[in-house]
Structure 1
Amino acid sequence: MDLTKTLIDVIDARSFSNLWYWIVLAVSWSTASHYVVGVPFDMITRAKRQGGEAFDDLVNLVGINTRRLLYIGQVSGLVILGFWAFVMTALLMLAFWYWIEFAQAVVLLAVPMTFVGILTFKTAQKIEAEQPRGPDLLKRLMRHRFYTHLIGMVSIFVTALFGMYQNLYVVQGFGG
Protein backbone atom coordinates (compact mmCIF):
# COMPACT_ATOMS: atom_id res chain seq x y z
CA MET A 1 0.00 0.00 0.00
CA ASP A 2 1.34 3.41 -0.98
CA LEU A 3 1.64 5.77 2.02
CA THR A 4 1.17 8.91 -0.09
CA LYS A 5 -2.10 7.63 -1.59
CA THR A 6 -3.35 6.64 1.85
CA LEU A 7 -2.61 10.10 3.26
CA ILE A 8 -4.32 11.80 0.31
CA ASP A 9 -7.36 9.54 0.78
CA VAL A 10 -7.53 10.33 4.50
CA ILE A 11 -7.13 14.10 3.96
CA ASP A 12 -9.66 14.42 1.16
CA ALA A 13 -10.72 17.92 0.12
CA ARG A 14 -14.25 16.81 -0.65
CA SER A 15 -15.81 17.67 2.66
CA PHE A 16 -19.13 15.86 2.72
CA SER A 17 -17.64 12.49 1.81
CA ASN A 18 -14.86 12.85 4.36
CA LEU A 19 -15.17 11.22 7.77
CA TRP A 20 -13.12 14.01 9.35
CA TYR A 21 -15.74 16.62 8.47
CA TRP A 22 -18.47 14.63 10.22
CA ILE A 23 -16.25 14.13 13.26
CA VAL A 24 -15.60 17.89 13.42
CA LEU A 25 -19.34 18.54 13.05
CA ALA A 26 -20.20 16.13 15.89
CA VAL A 27 -17.48 17.45 18.20
CA SER A 28 -18.46 21.06 17.49
CA TRP A 29 -22.10 20.52 18.36
CA SER A 30 -21.23 18.37 21.35
CA THR A 31 -19.00 21.13 22.69
CA ALA A 32 -21.55 23.85 21.93
CA SER A 33 -24.27 22.02 23.82
CA HIS A 34 -22.00 21.10 26.74
CA TYR A 35 -21.04 24.69 27.55
CA VAL A 36 -24.01 26.86 28.51
CA VAL A 37 -22.87 30.50 28.60
CA GLY A 38 -19.39 29.11 29.17
CA VAL A 39 -20.46 26.91 32.09
CA PRO A 40 -20.01 23.13 31.76
CA PHE A 41 -23.33 21.30 31.81
CA ASP A 42 -22.17 18.83 34.46
CA MET A 43 -21.74 21.79 36.81
CA ILE A 44 -25.36 22.80 36.18
CA THR A 45 -26.66 19.29 36.91
CA ARG A 46 -24.51 19.01 40.03
CA ALA A 47 -25.81 22.37 41.28
CA LYS A 48 -29.36 21.25 40.56
CA ARG A 49 -28.92 17.98 42.47
CA GLN A 50 -26.71 19.04 45.37
CA GLY A 51 -27.37 22.73 45.85
CA GLY A 52 -25.29 24.46 48.52
CA GLU A 53 -21.66 24.99 47.59
CA ALA A 54 -22.12 23.49 44.10
CA PHE A 55 -24.88 26.02 43.41
CA ASP A 56 -22.75 28.88 44.75
CA ASP A 57 -19.94 27.81 42.40
CA LEU A 58 -22.42 27.80 39.52
CA VAL A 59 -23.68 31.29 40.33
CA ASN A 60 -20.10 32.58 40.55
CA LEU A 61 -19.06 31.02 37.25
CA VAL A 62 -22.21 32.23 35.46
CA GLY A 63 -21.52 35.73 36.79
CA ILE A 64 -17.89 35.64 35.65
CA ASN A 65 -18.76 34.38 32.16
CA THR A 66 -21.68 36.76 31.78
CA ARG A 67 -19.61 39.80 32.69
CA ARG A 68 -16.77 38.58 30.44
CA LEU A 69 -19.06 38.16 27.42
CA LEU A 70 -20.70 41.52 27.96
CA TYR A 71 -17.32 43.24 28.40
CA ILE A 72 -16.04 41.76 25.14
CA GLY A 73 -19.26 42.89 23.46
CA GLN A 74 -18.90 46.44 24.77
CA VAL A 75 -15.20 46.84 24.06
CA SER A 76 -14.86 45.20 20.68
CA GLY A 77 -18.34 44.08 19.67
CA LEU A 78 -18.59 46.22 16.54
CA VAL A 79 -15.16 45.15 15.31
CA ILE A 80 -15.99 41.48 15.88
CA LEU A 81 -19.38 41.92 14.20
CA GLY A 82 -17.84 43.64 11.16
CA PHE A 83 -15.09 41.06 10.81
CA TRP A 84 -17.55 38.17 11.20
CA ALA A 85 -19.91 39.72 8.63
CA PHE A 86 -16.99 39.98 6.19
CA VAL A 87 -15.95 36.37 6.80
CA MET A 88 -19.50 35.05 6.47
CA THR A 89 -20.13 37.06 3.29
CA ALA A 90 -16.93 35.73 1.74
CA LEU A 91 -17.79 32.16 2.76
CA LEU A 92 -21.35 32.43 1.46
CA MET A 93 -20.09 33.78 -1.87
CA LEU A 94 -17.52 31.01 -2.20
CA ALA A 95 -20.05 28.39 -1.15
CA PHE A 96 -23.07 29.25 -3.20
CA TRP A 97 -21.89 31.59 -5.98
CA TYR A 98 -18.69 29.73 -6.88
CA TRP A 99 -20.05 26.40 -5.54
CA ILE A 100 -16.91 25.39 -3.61
CA GLU A 101 -17.68 22.35 -1.49
CA PHE A 102 -15.24 23.15 1.32
CA ALA A 103 -16.81 26.60 1.74
CA GLN A 104 -20.27 24.99 1.76
CA ALA A 105 -19.16 22.67 4.54
CA VAL A 106 -17.77 25.55 6.59
CA VAL A 107 -20.93 27.62 6.03
CA LEU A 108 -23.13 24.76 7.20
CA LEU A 109 -21.14 24.74 10.42
CA ALA A 110 -20.47 28.46 10.89
CA VAL A 111 -23.96 29.89 10.24
CA PRO A 112 -25.72 27.85 12.96
CA MET A 113 -22.81 28.43 15.35
CA THR A 114 -23.30 32.14 14.72
CA PHE A 115 -26.89 31.79 15.89
CA VAL A 116 -25.67 29.96 19.00
CA GLY A 117 -23.20 32.78 19.64
CA ILE A 118 -25.96 35.37 19.33
CA LEU A 119 -28.18 33.29 21.62
CA THR A 120 -25.35 33.06 24.17
CA PHE A 121 -24.80 36.82 24.11
CA LYS A 122 -28.55 37.52 24.46
CA THR A 123 -28.77 35.05 27.36
CA ALA A 124 -25.82 36.77 29.05
CA GLN A 125 -27.58 40.13 28.64
CA LYS A 126 -30.79 38.73 30.17
CA ILE A 127 -28.92 37.16 33.08
CA GLU A 128 -27.11 40.44 33.78
CA ALA A 129 -30.31 42.48 33.54
CA GLU A 130 -32.61 40.18 35.53
CA GLN A 131 -30.06 38.72 37.98
CA PRO A 132 -32.03 35.46 38.34
CA ARG A 133 -31.37 33.38 41.44
CA GLY A 134 -32.09 29.80 42.42
CA PRO A 135 -34.42 27.86 40.13
CA ASP A 136 -34.85 30.86 37.82
CA LEU A 137 -31.13 30.81 36.95
CA LEU A 138 -31.25 27.06 36.32
CA LYS A 139 -34.34 27.51 34.16
CA ARG A 140 -32.63 30.23 32.10
CA LEU A 141 -29.54 28.05 31.56
CA MET A 142 -31.61 24.98 30.66
CA ARG A 143 -33.67 27.02 28.18
CA HIS A 144 -30.44 28.21 26.55
CA ARG A 145 -29.23 24.61 26.28
CA PHE A 146 -32.57 23.51 24.80
CA TYR A 147 -32.40 26.15 22.07
CA THR A 148 -28.77 25.24 21.38
CA HIS A 149 -29.84 21.61 20.96
CA LEU A 150 -32.68 22.67 18.68
CA ILE A 151 -30.36 24.73 16.47
CA GLY A 152 -27.90 21.83 16.45
CA MET A 153 -30.49 19.24 15.43
CA VAL A 154 -31.79 21.36 12.58
CA SER A 155 -28.23 22.16 11.51
CA ILE A 156 -27.11 18.53 11.49
CA PHE A 157 -30.25 17.51 9.59
CA VAL A 158 -29.76 20.21 6.93
CA THR A 159 -26.04 19.41 6.69
CA ALA A 160 -26.76 15.71 6.25
CA LEU A 161 -29.33 16.41 3.54
CA PHE A 162 -27.04 18.81 1.71
CA GLY A 163 -24.11 16.42 2.10
CA MET A 164 -26.14 13.56 0.60
CA TYR A 165 -27.16 15.88 -2.23
CA GLN A 166 -23.52 16.77 -2.86
CA ASN A 167 -22.33 13.16 -2.71
CA LEU A 168 -25.10 11.64 -4.82
CA TYR A 169 -26.38 14.32 -7.15
CA VAL A 170 -23.50 16.67 -7.91
CA VAL A 171 -20.35 14.57 -7.42
CA GLN A 172 -21.69 11.44 -9.13
CA GLY A 173 -22.85 13.38 -12.14
CA PHE A 174 -26.58 12.72 -11.80
CA GLY A 175 -27.35 16.43 -11.82
CA GLY A 176 -27.64 18.74 -14.78
Structure 2
Amino acid sequence: MNWYDTVFEVIDMRSFSNLWYWIALAVLWSSVSHWVLGVPFDMILRARREKEGEAMDDLQDLVRINVNRILYIAEVSGSWAFLFGSAAVTALGLMAVVYDVEIAQAVLLLLGPLGILGLLSYRTSRIIRSSGVEGAELIRRLMRHRFATQMIGVLAIFVTAMFGMYQNLYVGTVGF
Protein backbone atom coordinates (compact mmCIF):
# COMPACT_ATOMS: atom_id res chain seq x y z
CA MET A 1 0.00 0.00 0.00
CA ASN A 2 1.48 3.38 -0.98
CA TRP A 3 1.04 6.73 0.77
CA TYR A 4 -1.72 7.83 -1.62
CA ASP A 5 -3.91 4.87 -0.69
CA THR A 6 -3.15 5.40 2.99
CA VAL A 7 -4.19 9.06 2.90
CA PHE A 8 -7.45 8.34 1.10
CA GLU A 9 -8.20 5.47 3.46
CA VAL A 10 -7.67 7.61 6.58
CA ILE A 11 -9.31 10.81 5.30
CA ASP A 12 -12.72 10.53 3.68
CA MET A 13 -12.45 12.61 0.52
CA ARG A 14 -16.13 12.65 -0.34
CA SER A 15 -17.49 16.18 -0.08
CA PHE A 16 -20.52 15.92 2.18
CA SER A 17 -18.93 13.61 4.73
CA ASN A 18 -15.80 15.73 4.97
CA LEU A 19 -15.55 18.00 7.99
CA TRP A 20 -13.58 20.59 6.00
CA TYR A 21 -16.48 21.10 3.61
CA TRP A 22 -18.82 22.00 6.47
CA ILE A 23 -16.20 24.29 8.03
CA ALA A 24 -15.78 26.02 4.66
CA LEU A 25 -19.56 26.40 4.35
CA ALA A 26 -19.82 27.98 7.82
CA VAL A 27 -16.86 30.31 7.24
CA LEU A 28 -18.22 31.32 3.83
CA TRP A 29 -21.62 32.40 5.13
CA SER A 30 -20.18 33.95 8.27
CA SER A 31 -17.85 36.10 6.17
CA VAL A 32 -20.49 37.00 3.62
CA SER A 33 -22.95 38.15 6.28
CA HIS A 34 -20.26 40.16 8.10
CA TRP A 35 -19.30 42.21 5.03
CA VAL A 36 -22.34 44.16 3.83
CA LEU A 37 -21.50 45.58 0.39
CA GLY A 38 -17.86 45.51 1.44
CA VAL A 39 -18.52 47.34 4.71
CA PRO A 40 -17.82 45.51 7.99
CA PHE A 41 -20.92 45.05 10.11
CA ASP A 42 -19.32 46.48 13.25
CA MET A 43 -18.79 49.75 11.38
CA ILE A 44 -22.52 49.89 10.59
CA LEU A 45 -23.37 49.26 14.25
CA ARG A 46 -20.97 51.96 15.44
CA ALA A 47 -22.43 54.49 12.98
CA ARG A 48 -25.96 53.56 14.05
CA ARG A 49 -25.06 54.00 17.69
CA GLU A 50 -23.36 57.39 17.23
CA LYS A 51 -25.87 58.65 14.59
CA GLU A 52 -23.60 61.58 13.61
CA GLY A 53 -19.93 62.34 13.55
CA GLU A 54 -16.84 60.57 12.31
CA ALA A 55 -18.30 57.04 12.40
CA MET A 56 -21.22 58.04 10.16
CA ASP A 57 -18.94 59.95 7.80
CA ASP A 58 -16.62 56.94 7.55
CA LEU A 59 -19.56 54.63 6.86
CA GLN A 60 -20.98 56.88 4.15
CA ASP A 61 -17.57 57.23 2.50
CA LEU A 62 -16.92 53.49 2.55
CA VAL A 63 -20.39 52.69 1.21
CA ARG A 64 -19.94 55.28 -1.56
CA ILE A 65 -16.57 53.78 -2.52
CA ASN A 66 -17.86 50.20 -2.54
CA VAL A 67 -21.11 51.03 -4.33
CA ASN A 68 -19.15 52.86 -7.04
CA ARG A 69 -16.76 49.90 -7.28
CA ILE A 70 -19.56 47.34 -7.60
CA LEU A 71 -21.41 49.38 -10.21
CA TYR A 72 -18.22 50.10 -12.18
CA ILE A 73 -17.35 46.41 -12.32
CA ALA A 74 -20.91 45.61 -13.38
CA GLU A 75 -20.85 48.27 -16.12
CA VAL A 76 -17.40 47.40 -17.46
CA SER A 77 -17.39 43.63 -17.27
CA GLY A 78 -20.81 42.67 -15.96
CA SER A 79 -21.95 41.00 -19.18
CA TRP A 80 -18.81 38.89 -19.39
CA ALA A 81 -18.91 38.00 -15.71
CA PHE A 82 -22.55 37.01 -16.04
CA LEU A 83 -21.78 34.98 -19.17
CA PHE A 84 -18.87 33.06 -17.64
CA GLY A 85 -20.68 32.67 -14.32
CA SER A 86 -23.73 31.25 -16.06
CA ALA A 87 -21.55 28.87 -18.07
CA ALA A 88 -19.76 27.70 -14.93
CA VAL A 89 -23.01 27.18 -13.00
CA THR A 90 -24.51 25.36 -15.98
CA ALA A 91 -21.49 23.07 -16.24
CA LEU A 92 -21.60 22.41 -12.50
CA GLY A 93 -25.34 21.80 -12.69
CA LEU A 94 -24.93 19.28 -15.50
CA MET A 95 -22.15 17.46 -13.70
CA ALA A 96 -24.11 17.53 -10.44
CA VAL A 97 -27.51 16.45 -11.75
CA VAL A 98 -26.92 14.48 -14.93
CA TYR A 99 -23.60 12.83 -14.10
CA ASP A 100 -24.09 12.71 -10.31
CA VAL A 101 -20.60 14.01 -9.49
CA GLU A 102 -20.50 14.68 -5.75
CA ILE A 103 -17.81 17.38 -5.84
CA ALA A 104 -19.84 19.26 -8.47
CA GLN A 105 -22.91 19.00 -6.23
CA ALA A 106 -20.93 20.37 -3.29
CA VAL A 107 -19.42 23.27 -5.23
CA LEU A 108 -22.80 24.11 -6.79
CA LEU A 109 -24.36 24.28 -3.34
CA LEU A 110 -21.57 26.65 -2.27
CA LEU A 111 -21.47 28.93 -5.31
CA GLY A 112 -25.10 28.92 -6.48
CA PRO A 113 -26.44 31.08 -3.63
CA LEU A 114 -23.47 33.44 -4.01
CA GLY A 115 -24.67 34.25 -7.53
CA ILE A 116 -28.05 35.25 -6.13
CA LEU A 117 -26.28 37.33 -3.50
CA GLY A 118 -24.20 39.03 -6.19
CA LEU A 119 -27.35 40.10 -8.02
CA LEU A 120 -28.85 41.33 -4.75
CA SER A 121 -25.71 43.36 -4.01
CA TYR A 122 -25.86 44.90 -7.48
CA ARG A 123 -29.51 45.82 -6.98
CA THR A 124 -28.88 47.34 -3.55
CA SER A 125 -25.91 49.31 -4.92
CA ARG A 126 -28.05 50.73 -7.72
CA ILE A 127 -30.76 51.75 -5.25
CA ILE A 128 -28.25 53.43 -2.92
CA ARG A 129 -26.62 55.37 -5.73
CA SER A 130 -29.83 56.41 -7.49
CA SER A 131 -31.65 57.52 -4.35
CA GLY A 132 -28.59 59.06 -2.68
CA VAL A 133 -29.57 57.82 0.78
CA GLU A 134 -27.52 58.95 3.77
CA GLY A 135 -27.57 58.67 7.54
CA ALA A 136 -30.24 56.57 9.18
CA GLU A 137 -31.83 55.62 5.85
CA LEU A 138 -28.49 54.29 4.58
CA ILE A 139 -28.07 52.22 7.73
CA ARG A 140 -31.61 50.86 7.34
CA ARG A 141 -30.88 49.92 3.71
CA LEU A 142 -27.64 48.15 4.70
CA MET A 143 -29.38 46.29 7.54
CA ARG A 144 -32.10 45.11 5.16
CA HIS A 145 -29.42 43.91 2.75
CA ARG A 146 -27.66 42.05 5.57
CA PHE A 147 -30.93 40.45 6.68
CA ALA A 148 -31.62 39.27 3.12
CA THR A 149 -28.05 37.93 2.94
CA GLN A 150 -28.55 36.02 6.18
CA MET A 151 -31.85 34.55 4.96
CA ILE A 152 -30.18 33.39 1.74
CA GLY A 153 -27.41 31.89 3.89
CA VAL A 154 -29.83 30.11 6.22
CA LEU A 155 -31.71 28.65 3.28
CA ALA A 156 -28.46 27.64 1.55
CA ILE A 157 -27.11 25.96 4.68
CA PHE A 158 -30.42 24.17 5.26
CA VAL A 159 -30.62 22.88 1.68
CA THR A 160 -26.96 21.85 1.76
CA ALA A 161 -27.40 20.06 5.08
CA MET A 162 -30.50 18.19 3.88
CA PHE A 163 -28.86 17.22 0.60
CA GLY A 164 -25.62 16.28 2.38
CA MET A 165 -27.46 14.04 4.85
CA TYR A 166 -29.37 12.40 2.03
CA GLN A 167 -26.15 11.90 0.08
CA ASN A 168 -24.33 10.41 3.07
CA LEU A 169 -27.19 8.08 3.88
CA TYR A 170 -27.65 7.06 0.26
CA VAL A 171 -23.95 6.55 -0.43
CA GLY A 172 -23.54 4.78 2.92
CA THR A 173 -26.20 2.19 2.08
CA VAL A 174 -25.12 1.58 -1.53
CA GLY A 175 -21.79 0.03 -0.50
CA PHE A 176 -23.45 -2.79 1.46
Shorter-normalised TM range: over 0.9
Q: Which residue of 1 aligns with 2:113?
A: 112
1:73 matched to 2:74? The reply is: yes
* In structure 2, C-alpha distance between the alignment counterparts of 1:100 and 1:10, rounded to whole Å: 22
Name 2:21's counterpart in structure 1: 21
Counterpart amino acid of residue 66 in structure 1: V
TM-fit CA distance, 1:4: 5.7
**One-letter identity of the residue aligned with 1:21:** Y
The Cα of 1:173 is off from its aligned counterpart by 1.6
Deviation at 1:49, TM superposition (A): 1.0
1:129-171 CA-to-partner distances (Å, cap 9, x unmatched) read 0111111100000000000000000110010000000000234
Question: Could you tell me which residue of structure 2 aligns to residue 39 of structure 1?
Answer: 39
Are positions 1:157 and 2:137 aligned together? no
User: 2:24 and 2:91 mapped to 1: Cα distance?
Assistant: 21
Of 155-164 and 165-174, deviating more is 165-174
1:18 Cα deviation from its structure 2 partner: 0.1
> Quick one: structure 1 residues 3 and 49, their matched pair in 2 at CA, closer, same or farther if it must change by over 3 Å?
farther
Q: Which residue of 2 aligns with 1:138?
A: 139
Deviations 1:64-91 (A, max 9, x none): 0000000001111111010101100000
User: Alignment length, in residue pairs?
Assistant: 173
Q: In the superposition, relative to structure 1, how do residues 83 and 113 fare at CA in structure 2: closer, same or farther (>3 Å)? A: same
Q: Deviation at 1:105?
A: 0.4
1:103 aligns with 2:104: yes
C-alpha distance 141-9 of structure 1, shift in aligned 2 (>3 A): farther
CA RMSD of aligned residues (A): 1.7
TM-score, normalization by structure 2: 0.93
Q: Give the counterpart letter for 2:37 in structure 1.
A: V
Matched, 1:8 2:17: no
Partner of 2:130: 129
Letter in 2 for 1:26: A
TM superposition shift of 1:11: 5.3
**Are residues 11 and 55 of structure 1, via their aligned partners in 2, closer, same or farther at CA, if it must alter by over 3 Å?**
farther
Q: Which one-letter code corresponds to 2:155 in the other structure?
A: V
CA contact (8 A) 1:95 1:101 kept: yes
Q: Give CA deviations for 1:83-122 in whole Å, capped at 9, x if unaligned.
A: 1011000000000110000000001111111111111111
Between the aligned residues of both structures, percent identity stands at 54
Secondary structure of the corresponding residue to residue 59 of structure 2: helix
Shift of 1:6: 6.4
- In the TM superposition, residue 50 of structure 1 has moved relative to its aligned partner by 2.0
* Contact 1:43–1:54 (8 Å) recurs in 2: yes
Gaps of 5+ in 2: none
User: Which segments of 5 or more consecutive residues in structure 1 lack a partner in the other structure?
Assistant: none
